[in-house]
Structure 1
């Protein structure tokens, strides 16, 4: 039974009925109350700005570096050594920070479908990355026997009764959007799905981060087409997708492909090629007003309320070049519109109806069929919707990022579009291993986390796409794989200053061996790659105790060499023959041989190679 209101709450409710404008996040804003009552108030620093509780702390979270890294998991990957798609499992804030150096300015399109802040969402992340591991785990809660963070400890419900309902959501979104912007190319764009709960705040937040001048569109997507008569006020059938460019002046919109190209025919072998019929009249296009005489002698005036689409001279030219289909009797003629003269594609409009971009019914059937399980996800976006966004944004070999990957819809859409047009777009998906509720159909089916569902969905979708297109040329070259990488602790122990004198000896041991106990050579390779600006699809060659890492396309240029196994004169000689830009070696491999270390440093200097030891 609901508790009765206290006298104070009753007064607040009465005040809210009289003066709703003086409340902010459920609390009285005293400055607004005084203004509404006509008090003479001098408001300092008046300016147009989006502000909220915790904004300064959100900036601190943004600026704090992370010591985390990404560790490959080949057992969960598909075609690890060849694929260029990535699936990163872990908190997206940490993942975005980890990717900053390697993927800065490389992503063409970002699509995200973040929590909508409906009042029932569990999404407030404990963004405390400056703490040591022990304190961090104490704050976020224990792990289960498999090493997954317990769901109730990771998240907090952001109910509308909370005093900082909107602020909590903004604090979660702001640092992630700033980091995402850094990853976009100068001609890149970001799409964000959202509903009425936060669309107003998101628009202002995006104005602050990307600049109001870089707003492109607010797309309205028809998510459902059934009317809910049980709705209290309106049956909501839409959601929004905000589109911002990093620099609108540099973004070149791609026209949507024509879906009805088959409508163009050439039954009369016209010299201009295939055509279809368009009306000869329009509304006020040329204000043309004249008489057209048909070959059968019928004279036609323009219809009331409309005008001829073309001037009289243009119509005479079209008649002469056989571009008019007259029709019988006194019917109005039609004009041939030729495919050769049509625009390459269609300018997108801001209304995405369900037949064009799919709806929730479409997406539910889609994922149920792929996973052969009903009800595994209640709300997912259709891959058709993401495909439409890609069609107006990215070309055949661009990178798309989704850091709220959910069920893996974006990765599915990328593979589908590549299969259709022979493209080689790459997808980076980031998803937290959020625990599935025990009562959910997903948990019953054996899926422990949302990330597990996404990975399985991508595996199955890739196989299905390839099977559906098996007769298509070069379908064997379609990339349906993905590298799984997991956000994990660094392979190198961190120097700490917040320790007692009793533990100082342990800390001093870092000078001797800074490698963490559970570190592996492969994981160190990937961590050092990332920290030195190499992307995760770089070419890795392992030979003669040397890890040689180069750009995927130019294997002989911009080489990073890692020495993680053994160092001797022979190894150093082989390194010099690689002609790398930079060499990183574990200091302990020199085994206190100062002469070898000094000679190595001098040889690298003479060869103009940057040399570092860890």
Structure 2
């Protein structure tokens, strides 16, 4: 009896896109040399109201290598993430993740488990200043890769390349690096998600162009300016003090407006009135004219009506003008005590006879209400200079340059107004984002979770970090989280998640025969005995199974003993996994009592072929809702 096997690789995005197009435009499906294909000429016609006669000029950004960048994003990967318990803090219970490895491949691996689950992405990628490095994406299988996978050569010496301004593909290489990563990041965002990208002048224009293409120009929110530093003597014509944040929504209509805290200076300047009696006695408020000269009648004809004043006079705005609210809303505000009548010598209002009135009418705007509602943030951030990050890192004893201050990330996480969100940073650097979220959770009792992704780029042998014992940036980032979390816990004792699970990108846990059995003949039958690599642990297999089954890596993991065998229990009964040998009918009867939704075994783990068939049948009888698979 056949048992369905897990794919153990990331989704094939090309095939998925093909199936989606085929479902929408079945008449565009044709046959080519490689089998089924899309007739793109016909597809173009389906998407046009006019007759399509051939290639036409269009508005879009192009660069050498763009097609390769699209292919790179769509290529599936068989790599996996291996847990590193010794580097983690509270591994089995924490919901925070730190992932070491090339962010392109990591983003592919997260596609199913975190599809549409991310609320906020913040990244601070290389600015391409001429001194930066860019990631060199090369997925061709060659002798070099064999050396890397066998441990004879350090992959990360080869993953970054210099990108000087004199390079012939200075902008193109940077765009080819960013494009597939941004393309993959979009699918991880929920419909109400948002991405913030820090960037300098060098690639601001190009970055906006590719984000318009990937996220859609209609989902562009703004380019935030931020004061990165004050003064300085660098630069040719101006000293560069401003950096930028590109802001895009996944679906702008589904994104709630951002909410900033009230400005203290504005509060002191504007909210000077105090309620002297009634239910809101002692509360501060300000007044706003119910009629304002800029409000024309065309905007709402329902907002022009007479209002009776304390002396019985009835007043109305000038001809062609209106009140700020319709009559129904005014009556409600009046009943709630939020209307004030004041006598004045210069009223803009008129009575029933067309004479200028002595009354003006105001609404009360309560400070407490406005503080709860918040205010729209400005599109220029004049706080949180970069120099603040140096002081933060010095206090933690962490040697690292060019980090962003935690206050900036906290500010962005606060204005999206979601205390129960997942925040992704796939250019994690020194882990500023993780530090900021732990701080913020301790302050407002939030339950924000972070996913940090960082390439283990080697530190320079002459650097302070190297001398302090940090051989790569990941070692710096992990230690920062540990120290920051310890410091925050000591200072606040807040009941929050201070831990994080570490995963490391690696080649698949499965032997090549698992993916390409057709390449092996009868002389290689011994390879089929166990298709799992000998150096891989049960923890390794569980992580790859969770990714393949689309389960978040942050789910709670417990370990049980069932009939003398080690069983992983993930998120209560969401997934049971047992990779021990000798699986038989007695084990099936014992595990069926828990009625897990999913259960997975090693294909070679059954006592024999008969036991494999019987286990599947027993699970069907005793726990019919359980889905069984093997690797």
Contact 1:547 1:562 in 2 (8 A): yes
**RMSD (CA atoms):** 3.4
Cα displacement (A) at 1:126: 3.1
Tell me the TM-score normalised to structure 1 length.
0.76
Distance 1:460 1:139 in 2: 32
Q: Is the 1:538–1:549 Cα contact (8 Å) retained in structure 2? A: no
Q: How does 1:37-116 map to 2 (within 5 A)?
A: 45-116=56-127
- Sort the Cα spacing of 1:505 and 1:446 in 2 relative to 1 into closer, same or farther, 3 A: farther
Uncovered stretches (5+) of structure 1, i.e. residues with no partner: 1-42, 288-308, 322-333
The reply on whether 1:489 has 2:517 as its aligned counterpart is: no
Match of 1:243 in 2: 247
Corresponding residue of 2:283: 274
Aligned equivalents of 2:456, 2:160: Cα separation in 1: 12
SS of match in other structure, 1:96 = helix
Does structure 2 retain, via aligned residues, the 8 Å contact 1:495–1:507? no
Which has the higher mean CA deviation after the structures are superposed, 166-175 or 492-501?
Answer: 492-501
Maintained 8 Å contact 1:219/1:350? yes
Q: Partners of 1:416 and 1:364 in 2: how far apart?
A: 17
Which position in structure 2 is the counterpart of 1:430? 453
Residue 581 of structure 2 corresponds to residue 579 of structure 1: no
Give the strand-richer structure, 1 or 2.
2
Per-residue deviation, residues 185-219 of structure 1 (Å, max 9, x unmatched): 11111110111111111111011111111101110
How big is each residue's C-alpha offset from its partner over 1:248-302, in whole Å with a ceiling of 9 and x where there is no partner? 010112411235398568877454342166899x997679xxxxxxxxxxxxxxx
Structure 2: runs of 5 or more not aligned? 1-53, 297-323, 344-361
Moved more, 254-263 or 398-407: 254-263
2:612 corresponds, among 593, 597, 600, to 597
**Partner residue, 1:533:** 550
In the alignment, does 2:474 pair up with 1:445? Answer: no
Q: How does 1:398-437 map to 2 (within 5 A)?
A: 398-437=421-460
Distance in 1 separating the partners of 2:340 and 2:170: 64
Q: For 1:217, which of 209, 212, 222 is the aligned residue? A: 222
Map Cα deviations across residues 28-53 of structure 1 (whole Å, 9 max, x no partner).
xxxxxxxxxxxxxxx95211111111
My pick for the range that moved more, 188-197 or 517-526, is 517-526
SS of the counterpart of 1:578?
coil
Q: Secondary structure at 1:598's aligned position in 2?
A: helix
Q: Secondary structure at the match of 1:168?
A: helix
Report what 1:612 is aligned to: 629
1:2-401 correspondence to structure 2 within 5 Å: 45-128=56-139, 131=141, 135-136=144-145, 138=147, 148-149=154-155, 151=157, 153-228=158-233, 230-258=234-262, 260=264, 263=268, 269-271=276-278, 272=280, 273-275=282-284, 318=340, 338-342=366-370, 344-354=373-383, 358-371=384-397, 376-401=399-424
Distance 1:277 1:497 in 2: 69
Distance 1:441 1:604, change over 3 A: same
CA distance in 2 between counterparts of 1:279 and 1:601 reads: 72
Q: Against the structure 1 CA distance between its residues 363 and 79, is the aligned structure 2 distance closer, same or farther, given a 3 Å change threshold?
A: same
Higher deviation after alignment, 267-276 or 412-421: 267-276
Distance in 2, matches of 1:431 and 1:143, equals 22
Whole-angstrom distance in 2 between the partners of 1:205 and 1:395: 28
Aligned to 1:305: none
The 3 A distance-change label for structure 1 pair 486 and 605 is same
**How many residue pairs end up in the alignment?**
513
SS of the residue aligned with 1:342? Answer: helix
Contact 1:254 1:394 in 2 (8 A): yes
C-alpha distance in 2, partners of 1:507/1:183? 41
Counterparts of 2:541 and 2:596 in 1: how far apart (Å)? 19
Structure-2 separation of matches of 1:506 and 1:88: 39
Counterpart-to-counterpart distance in 2, 1:590 and 1:335: 76
Q: What secondary structure is seen at the aligned counterpart in 1 of 2:174?
A: helix
Which deviations, in whole Å up to 9, do the C-alpha atoms of 1:351-397 show, x marking residues without a partner?
0002xxx11111121212222x6xx3331111111111111114111
d(CA) in 1 for partners of 2:113, 2:444: 28
Q: CA offset at residue 603 of structure 1?
A: 2.6
Quick one: structure 1 residues 268 and 59, their matched pair in 2 at CA, closer, same or farther if it must change by over 3 Å?
A: closer
- Per-residue Cα deviation, 1:545-595 (whole angstroms, up to 9, x for no partner): 2535443xxx24x4344443430221111122222233322222224x232
1:519-530 to structure 2, matched below 5 A, reads 519-530=536-547
Secondary structure of residue in 2 paired with 1:101: coil
Give the SS at the match of 2:509. coil
Q: Residues of 2 paired with 1:566 and 1:377: CA distance?
A: 51
Q: What is the rounded CA distance, in whole Å, between the counterparts of 1:427 and 1:497 in structure 2?
A: 33
> TM (normalized to structure 2)?
0.74
Provide the C-alpha distance between the structure 1 equivalents of 2:67 and 2:506, rounded to a whole number of angstroms: 27
